[in-house]
Amino acid sequence: MVNLKFNSLINLKLTQESGQTSQAPWRYNSVGDNDQFSELIYLNTPSIINELSDETINLNKLPVLLKLSQDKNDLNSFTCLYQLPKKVEKKEFSLNIDNFSKHEINIIENEIKNELTKIYNLDFDLEKFYDFLLSDEKLAPSVDFCNGLRLFIAKDPFECIISSICSANNSILRWTKSIDKIKSNWGEKVEFDDGMFYGFPSPKQFLDFYETPIEEADEDGHCYEIDCYTHNLKACGVGYRAPYMKKASQILIDDINIDEIFSMGYEEAFDLILGLPGVGPKVADCILLYGFGFEEAFPSDVWIKRIVSHLYFDGEISAEKTREFGIEHFGDYAGYAQLYLFHYARKSGLMDKIKK
C-alpha cells in the first residue's frame, strides 16, 4: 500500500496531547525518529463495487484503520497507511484491497484524505495565524511554544458531546480512560492486522446502558458480587455524569439533528448545545470548537480565565467576561487563540505563576 502524504505544517504529537480536545489521543507508538498514531475511523462509503469481481458490497460505513507517521524532525508533512478490517464484531470481512480497481481505491483514499484534513484542520492557514499572534505582544511568545499545533477535531460529533460532558470538572487522564472504557464495553469491535479497535456507541445504544452496578445487578438477579458488574456507566468512571449522558442521548434522538448543527450560526448552535444536560458555557464551546469546527468559540474555564486576566487585565475577571473578551478580541481566531494560550501557559511556566 502506497503512503498517502500530507504536506502541511503540523505537530501531530503536540496536537493530540495539547490537553484541549474532546476526544482521546490516538494509539501512540514511537519508532526511532518517527511518531506513529493509529485509530479506527468510518468512511462515508455506503457501497463499493468491486469492478474486478463485479460484486457490490453494501455497507453502512466503511471501517478503516489509519496509521499516521511523522518524522520528529520534520513538522511540514506526515504520511498515512490504511488497513481494511479482518473482522467486524464476529463476522469475517471479505473485502481485499488488493482486488479493488484503481477507481475504487481512489474513492477510499479520497475519503481518507478528506477525513484527515477535517480531523487535523489542515485547511487552516497556520502561517497567517502566526502573523496575527506576532502582532499581539501578549500572544507573540506562544508561537515558539506551539509551532505546528492545530485543532484536533473529533471524528464523531456524538463522541465529542459525550466526551465533553465527561470532561466537566474532571482530569484529562480520568475522562479519557472513561471514554476508552465505554468504547471497549459497547463500541463495535473491529479487528485489524494491527489489533482490536473500537467504534463509539450510538445515541440509541446509550439509552439501554445501565447507569450503576446496582441497576445491572438487579437485572441479572444479583448472581455475582456487586464488584463484578462492570458493564454500566458508573463502572466506567463517569460518576454523576451518567444520567446526563443518557438524557443528552435521548434529546439528540428526539429533538436535535446533529448534522444540522454544522450549518448553523455560532450563537444559534451555542444556545442549542447549552440546552443539553451537563453542558455549561465552557463545555458548550468545547463541543462547538472540537466537535463541529466553530473556530470563533472561546472555551473559558478557570485556567483560561486566569491566563486572560493575567495577560490582559489588572485583576481577575469572570469566566463569562473572559469568554466575551475572547470572542470579541480574537474574532475568527478565538478558538485557536484559546488553544495556544492554554498550551503556552502550561509549557512556559506561566501556569505555575498564576496558580492560586
Active site residues: 282
Rounded CA-CA distance 218/12 in Å is 45
Rounded CA-CA distance 176/64 in Å is 22
Rounded CA-CA distance 41/114 in Å is 12
Cβ proximity of 95 and 48 under 8 Å = yes
Based on DSSP, count helices (H) and strands (E) in the chain, helices before strands: 16, 11
The total of other beta-carbon atoms located within 10 Å of residue 47's CB is: 10
What is each CA distance from 299 to 19, 237, 330, 340, in whole angstroms?
Answer: 13, 24, 13, 12
Environment class of 307 (CB within 10 Å of its CB; exposed 0-12, middle 13-18, buried 19+):
buried
Rounded CA-CA distance 84/204 in Å is 26
Environment class of 78 (CB within 10 Å of its CB; exposed 0-12, middle 13-18, buried 19+):
buried
- Give the residue carrying C-alpha cell 472504557: 181
